[in-house]
Structure 1
Amino acid sequence: MHPTIFRFHGFELHSYGLLLAIAFLVGIQLLLKRGADRGLPEDKLSTLSLILLVLAIVGGRGLYVLTHWSDYARDLGGIFRIWEGGLMLYGGYFLAIAGGIVYVRRTGLSVWRVGDAAAPSMALGIGIGRLGCFLNGCCFGLPSHLPWAIKFPPGSYSNFVFPNEPLQPSQLYLAAAGGALFVLLLRLDRKPHFDGWLFWSYIAMDAVLRFVIDFTRYYDSTSYLGKVGPFPFNVNQVFSAVLVIAALFMLKRLKHAGAPADLARAPSVPREPSRVEPGLEHTEPSPARQDPTA
């Protein structure tokens, strides 16, 4: 655990903020590359990336503060100290996706083609960001005696909650899930699919993994809503379940409405008329053109 990378004349570089910055920079470069392959304008994708970054942080922090208001009621300044941890992924998800859809529609681009281009960036960015959670010591797991369980150092918040106990490395599980989804999405994208398929497939798979991994994470008592068998479930798992249902609904809807994304991403090139001898002209039926839906 290294919450602070270094200090210099009062300036502190926090690992959490550093990893978030790296996640954003890597994610935007990947998005621009994939967007270029789909004929999406770089300037609009760059603007979209900045909008998503701001909305993800505001939404993630806002939902965390809302669900932990008692921690901030007497320290309003703490709301802005995001380097200390305290972002709820789904708060950022919902606000960023909603804001992103509004912006993309105003630019006239296909929402789901942009979403397909962005999906691997989202998976990789979240995976890198979770490494920042691990270094910061937030989002830790429950006590465990597994061989890979981790003891955080004295002074960490986890050590205050579970003194000197080995814990599940939930942050690393989430980081590994993000990395695995990143690789899987790149492989799945090699085959033709309708616009929106990759994006909503990512949302569904990420939500399922998050639902499972959350059983290993520590949450304060206010976050728990009940039990699934012997296992308590929390508000984030409710969000996960809602996202899975929404993703399956959108996949079914887009499947019946959309065209294969690989056909949509290839720009049309006018065909040069063939030169044939007089009297030998022939005609060929032109393939039906398919227009992707937004």
Structure 2
Amino acid sequence: MPPAVELLSILTFPAIDPVAFSVGPLAVHWYGLAYVAGIMLGWVVARGMLRNPKLWPNDTPPCTATHLDDFLVWVALGIVLGGRIGYILFYDLGAILADPIRAIEIWNGGMSFHGGFVGATLAMVIFARRNSIRLWSLFDIVASVAPLGILFGRLANFINGELWGRPSDMPWAMVFPTGGPFPRHPSQLYEGLLEGLLTFIVLQVVGRLFGGFRAPGLVTGCFVILYALSRITVEFFREPDAQLGFLVGGWLTMGMLLSLPMLAVGVWALLRAWRAAGSRS
């Protein structure tokens, strides 16, 4: 891309300090606050859904508000541990094998959504069994509010000036501090809108207005499908991780490859929910 293309960028990256505030030597980052905000807002919305028995099979919520309160710790651990382990395995294994201490340097690489997804799923399975909660309904509760966490997380990625997109001449492209001299797609915002805001709205409509929560697993299937399709779409605009580059065929990225099995799982979950609802009718 010629240097002149940079002139087409009419937006300036809003160089926001990644540190939201400091308390003595402790620096609180926007990225950490995003995780807290996403989990807490999801908790508030989920509690509201539990207060409406009409949303659930047999007019009976799958768990109590107290269960949901207890689950906060479980899901937070699942997301953080799964996200970090997933990043290590999918994106940075070679570097960490060479320097194992890098594994705990969460500022050096970060988290993987797909790893966090697996970690949160395992947390739900264990928690549901320990508390005799209908597993697929618990999946639906978490799936219906998870896009809020994704939205806040992508906004934090944007503030950090990371995970930027490929070079672009679109009028909303911008030059990122660590992305070289050329304007790039703000792919973090694309992901926040598609995987986060739009997916959240669709799932709430499906669950609340079309009775999706009364067919356990249906909202979960919709979430997994929507996330996978959104992620695959945005990967065409997002710069692949430097240490991996493009993979199979010279155009696929790791994000695409990890989203394909998610898409298959989502379709399976949706078909399973439809079949189960049909057998009960």
Same fold judged by TM-score > 0.5?
A: yes
* 2:12 matched residue in structure 1: none
- Compute the displacement of 1:75 (Å): 4.8
- How do 1:1-294 residues align onto structure 2 when only pairs under 5 Å count? 1=15, 2-38=17-53, 39=61, 40-66=63-89, 67-73=91-97, 75-83=99-107, 86-153=110-177, 159=178, 162-177=179-194, 178-189=196-207, 190-193=209-212, 194-218=215-239, 219-222=241-244, 224-227=246-249, 232-258=251-277
Larger Rg: 1
What do the CA deviations read for 1:111-130 (whole angstroms, capped 9, x no partner)? 12122222221011111111
Secondary structure, aligned partner of 2:51: helix
What do the CA deviations read for 1:73-110 (whole angstroms, capped 9, x no partner)? 45544433335551110011012112212321331111
In structure 2, distance between residues paired with 1:128 and 1:250:
26
In structure 2, distance between residues paired with 1:83 and 1:17:
11
Q: Contact between 1:17 and 1:83, CA under 8 Å: does it hold in 2?
A: no
Amino acid at match of 1:201: C
Q: Percent identity?
A: 25
Q: Contact between 2:220 and 2:270, CA under 8 Å: does it hold in 1?
A: no
Compare 14-23 and 83-92 and name the one that shifted more. 83-92
Q: Contact between 1:16 and 1:85, CA under 8 Å: does it hold in 2?
A: no
Q: Contact between 2:124 and 2:138, CA under 8 Å: does it hold in 1?
A: no
Structure with greater helix share of residues:
2
Q: Say if 1:182 and 1:48 are closer, same or farther in 2 by CA, change over 3 A.
A: same
- Compute the displacement of 1:221 (Å): 4.7
In structure 2, distance between residues paired with 1:235 and 1:152:
22
Amino acid at match of 2:203: L
In structure 2, distance between residues paired with 1:134 and 1:84:
16
Compare 51-60 and 5-14 and name the one that shifted more. 5-14
Secondary structure, aligned partner of 2:251: strand
Secondary structure, aligned partner of 2:138: helix
In structure 1, distance between residues paired with 2:145 and 2:83:
18
What do the CA deviations read for 1:165-194 (whole angstroms, capped 9, x no partner)? 211111101111111111121112211241
RMSD: 2.2
Q: Contact between 2:217 and 2:272, CA under 8 Å: does it hold in 1?
A: no
In structure 1, distance between residues paired with 2:265 and 2:257:
12
Q: Contact between 2:221 and 2:268, CA under 8 Å: does it hold in 1?
A: no
In structure 1, distance between residues paired with 2:73 and 2:110:
21
- Compute the displacement of 1:255 (Å): 1.5
Q: Please, what TM-score do these two structures have when normalized by structure 1?
A: 0.78
Higher RCO (C-alpha 8 Å, min separation 6): 2
In structure 2, distance between residues paired with 1:131 and 1:74:
32
Secondary structure, aligned partner of 1:202: helix
In structure 2, distance between residues paired with 1:35 and 1:91:
28
